Amino acid sequence: MSGIKAARTLHKKGFTNLKIIEGSDRIGGRMKESSLGGYTVENGALWIYGRGTNPVWKLAQKFNISNKRDDSDKLAGL
């Protein structure tokens, strides 16, 4: 998602020669699914960075998705 969003933002600013490079041998970033006890479970993307400014955080709030606040945003500058 972040690579696509960055490319979209750059394209809107007039950049046209863009290449999105994946960090691993599969697409999906931190999101991944696996099987556990016959069920498909989601791994990764377990927290939302940039609370308050991240559109994913706003969607979580809008749809009342269970979440817990922590102080990880304060550690971003370390």
Q: How does pLDDT run across 9-62, given as a tens digit for each residue?
A: 999 999 999 998 887 787 777 777 788 888 887 776 666 766 677 787 888 888
- The values of phi and psi at residue 70, to 5°, are -140, -175
Helix residue ranges per DSSP H, the chain:
2-12, 55-62
pTM: 0.43
76 Cβ contact list (under 8 Å, min separation 6) = 49
Rounded distance between C-alpha atoms, residue 77 and residue 70, angstroms: 15
Check residue 78 and give its pLDDT.
Answer: 47
| Confidence grade of residue 74 (pLDDT, cut at 50, 70, 90) | low
